[in-house]
Chains A and B, each alone.
Chain A
Amino acid sequence: MGRIVLDKVSKSFGTTEVIPPLDLTIEEGEFAVFVGPSGCGKSTLLRLIAGLEDVSGGVVKINGEDATAVPPAKRGLAMVFQSYALYPHMSVRKNIAFPLRMAKLDKSEIKQRVEDAASVLNLTDYLDRRPGQLSGGQRQRVAIGRAIVREPEAFLFDEPLSNLDAALRVGMRLEISELHKRLATTMIYVTHDQVEAMTMADKIVVLQAGVIEQVGSPLELYRSPRNKFVAGFIGSPKMNLLEGSEAARYNAHTIGIRPEHLTVSTDGNGWQGVVGVSEHLGSDTFLHVQCDDFEPTLTVRADGELDLDYGARVSITPDLNHLHLFDHDGQRIG
């Protein structure tokens, strides 16, 4: 259960085409993450799958059946919204029970399932409260509880963690990942945060301006980004991208090198430059180095204990095995 296929799906609002026809398959049990900058159409794509927006063209298939004209209520998908979208007039218990009530299950079964979901999500003590009396993290759990009780074909998450503070976000990220391992249900997760994408996904779908730039596992995308956009978007801190004479030496328009594939030393060959700001994370230090020969500042990952003063002269050597080459159109050539 839970295989979702998009076949030439497109979406226009009026005369503006936000998603040109695209094909995408999300396999059963997969954790797929749609990631991209804001306005790239990732939420729209999710809403097309949910049925909350009508497609302008193409076919949405759920488990091999054409669901394009099926209303959201009948698609068997559950969704967790960014704003949680809990029913403010209902208690937590009733919120979680709502999908089951709509499915006309009998009372004892509903009670059982709600209590099971609540215990999984540590909500048992809050069942009789209203959403207004809960913290952000608890509300998020209720929203997830409401999604899991009905055992849907797939879960759709629309930036569910972006309203939470940083610490809570990391915790919830783990909880959702664990939930996926336990339920083994298809999940589609939309985020603009590439860290969330990298840490949670089986499959990342990178979108830009409604177009799929690349689909692949987190490490595939990290190791061999198909183009300059994916190279710059996946990975934190960003990949260093250089154009001009440095790139020309490798017969490329642009070369890319990740911060961890640069070695810094105080004496040696390679690119000569001056250390600007150093960011000490403890485990690592990120140095921002201004080289003499080219404009863009290089980000270099160095040992956490490395202590270089602002303005110190260094030399930087790239690991040529991890060089990414891109042509004039930004496509990968090696």
Chain B
Amino acid sequence: MARSVTTQRKVFNTLLAWLIGLLIFFPILWTILTSFKTEAQAINDPPLFLFFDWTLENYAVVQDRSNYTRYLWNSVIIAIGSTILGVLIAIPAAWSMAFIPSRRTKDILLWMLSTKMLPAVGVLYPIYLLFIQLKLLDSRLGLTIILMLINLPIIVWMLYTYFREIPGEILEAARMDGAGLKDEILHVLTPMAIPGIASTVLLNVILAWNEAFWTLNLTAAKAAPLTAFIASYSSPEGLFYAKLSAASTMAIAPILILGWFSQKQLVRGLTFGAVK
């Protein structure tokens, strides 16, 4: 007997999905709403939802007080740079692990992932000292490298999973057809793995964009990205909620828009391989 989906059930499911969606989205929505309130309305009790005096004043103040564009550029360069660098290193790494695995490959993969379980602060001191030595403190290059390194295990792991789905015989066929290693990776493996690579890139741009620990600790003024921009509006007293919200909205807007337009890719990427 076929399972019939009644209209009632459809309506219920749709409402439930919307409810859960809104619940997850609520903190972001609240931040955006708060950014349009005055400071007094922002801390009003009971909280005001939609009926307040909408104002752009916070944005004007934030714009006035700090150089948003500079932070934005730093974020863009660091997030995209670290992702590209990571993918360039991870493709050959994942290729070798997926297609010519050794007895240790599984161990190496797990070991790489285990570095993500280490609290970042545990290595802050040595890294900080290294950065001083290498004169990388407060530089985009330094941040690009460190973010590439911390995301590399995830990039390798994701690409490894995608590559495993590609039949090895196709790569062997390329070898028989006279393709060297470079041609094999460039003309056969990469084009076949494009959907996987795209979602890996997207996810890692988002991860790098949102990364706060290293970006806050290793920058001061020059290379500070949007995370530092937000942080500069959070005061211990918590007095300027509206301005903090405006700064946050400005910081998350670009990545939110990117995520919105690429959600198909992202979902595909995150569930890739689950069902063949």
Q: Taking beta carbons and an 8 Å cutoff, which residues of A are in contact with B?
A: 50-52, 71-74, 77-79, 81-83, 85-89, 98-99, 102-103, 146, 150, 156
With A52-B172, A85-B167, A85-B172: A102-B177 Cβ-Cβ less than 8 Å = yes
A88 close to B169 (CB less than 8 A): no
A73 close to B188 (CB less than 8 A): no
**Interface of B: prevailing SS:** helix
List A contacts of B174 (CB < 8 A): 87, 98
With A81-B169, A85-B169, A102-B183: A73-B192 Cβ-Cβ less than 8 Å = no
- Check B116 for interface membership: any CB of A closer than 8 A: no
B191 close to A83 (CB less than 8 A): no
B175 close to A72 (CB less than 8 A): yes
Name B184's closest neighbour in chain A (CB-CB).
A73
Q: How far is the CA of A233 from the CA of B126 in the complex (A)?
A: 69
- Check B178 for interface membership: any CB of A closer than 8 A: yes
With A85-B167, A85-B170: A73-B176 Cβ-Cβ less than 8 Å = yes
Which residues from 44 to 63 on chain B have a C-beta closer than 8 Å to any C-beta of chain A? none
Which residues from 165 to 222 on chain B have a C-beta closer than 8 Å to any C-beta of chain A? 167, 169-170, 172-180, 183, 187-188, 191-192, 194
A146 close to B177 (CB less than 8 A): yes
A99 close to B177 (CB less than 8 A): yes
Task: Tell me, rounded to whole Å, the shortest Cβ–Cβ distance linking B199 to chain A.
Answer: 17
List A contacts of B194 (CB < 8 A): 89
Name A51's closest neighbour in chain B (CB-CB).
B175
Known A71-B175, A156-B176; further 18 A-B contacts with Cβ < 8 A = A50-B176, A52-B176, A72-B175, A78-B177, A79-B172, A81-B169, A81-B172, A85-B172, A85-B173, A87-B174, A88-B192, A89-B194, A98-B177, A99-B178, A102-B177, A102-B179, A102-B183, A103-B178
Task: Tell me, rounded to whole Å, the shortest Cβ–Cβ distance linking B269 to chain A.
Answer: 18
Name A77's closest neighbour in chain B (CB-CB).
B176
Task: Tell me, rounded to whole Å, the shortest Cβ–Cβ distance linking B272 to chain A.
Answer: 16
A79 close to B191 (CB less than 8 A): no
Which of A78, A89, A102, A150 contacts B192, CB < 8 Å? A89
A83 close to B178 (CB less than 8 A): no
Name A47's closest neighbour in chain B (CB-CB).
B172
B178 close to A102 (CB less than 8 A): yes
A87 close to B176 (CB less than 8 A): no
Most buried by B among A50, A82, A102, A103: A102
A73 close to B167 (CB less than 8 A): no
List A contacts of B192 (CB < 8 A): 87-89
List A contacts of B183 (CB < 8 A): 102
Q: How far is the CA of A250 from the CA of B33 in the complex (A)?
A: 102
Task: Tell me, rounded to whole Å, the shortest Cβ–Cβ distance linking B179 to chain A.
Answer: 5
Closest 4 CB pairs of A and B: A85-B173, A102-B178, A99-B177, A85-B169
With A81-B169, A85-B169, A102-B183: A72-B176 Cβ-Cβ less than 8 Å = yes
List A contacts of B188 (CB < 8 A): 87
Q: How far is the CA of A156 from the CA of B173 in the complex (A)?
A: 11
With A88-B192, A102-B183: A73-B170 Cβ-Cβ less than 8 Å = no
A73 close to B175 (CB less than 8 A): yes
Name B178's closest neighbour in chain A (CB-CB).
A102
Q: How far is the CA of A98 from the CA of B173 in the complex (A)?
A: 10
List A contacts of B167 (CB < 8 A): 83, 85
List B contacts of A146 (CB < 8 A): 173, 177
Task: Tell me, rounded to whole Å, the shortest Cβ–Cβ distance linking B178 to chain A.
Answer: 4
Q: How far is the CA of A250 from the CA of B175 in the complex (A)?
A: 55
Q: How far is the CA of A85 from the CA of B176 in the complex (A)?
A: 11
With A88-B192, A89-B192, A102-B183: A78-B176 Cβ-Cβ less than 8 Å = yes
List B contacts of A81 (CB < 8 A): 169, 172-173
Name B177's closest neighbour in chain A (CB-CB).
A99
Name B171's closest neighbour in chain A (CB-CB).
A85
Task: Tell me, rounded to whole Å, the shortest Cβ–Cβ distance linking A63 to chain B.
Answer: 17
Q: How far is the CA of A87 from the CA of B175 in the complex (A)?
A: 12
With A87-B188, A88-B192: A79-B179 Cβ-Cβ less than 8 Å = no
A83 close to B176 (CB less than 8 A): no
Task: Tell me, rounded to whole Å, the shortest Cβ–Cβ distance linking A114 to chain B.
Answer: 13
Name B168's closest neighbour in chain A (CB-CB).
A85
List A contacts of B172 (CB < 8 A): 52, 72, 79, 81, 85
Name B169's closest neighbour in chain A (CB-CB).
A85
List A contacts of B191 (CB < 8 A): 89
Name A103's closest neighbour in chain B (CB-CB).
B178
B178 close to A79 (CB less than 8 A): no
Task: Tell me, rounded to whole Å, the shortest Cβ–Cβ distance linking A87 to chain B.
Answer: 6
- 27 A-B contacts (beta carbon < 8 Å): A52-B172, A52-B176, A72-B176, A73-B175, A73-B179, A73-B180, A77-B176, A79-B172, A79-B176, A81-B172, A85-B169, A85-B172, A85-B173, A86-B170, A87-B173, A88-B192, A89-B192, A98-B179, A98-B187, A99-B177, A99-B178, A102-B178, A102-B179, A102-B180, A150-B177, A150-B178, A156-B176
Name B180's closest neighbour in chain A (CB-CB).
A73
List B contacts of A71 (CB < 8 A): 175, 180
Name A89's closest neighbour in chain B (CB-CB).
B191
Task: Tell me, rounded to whole Å, the shortest Cβ–Cβ distance linking B9 to chain A.
Answer: 36
B169 close to A73 (CB less than 8 A): no
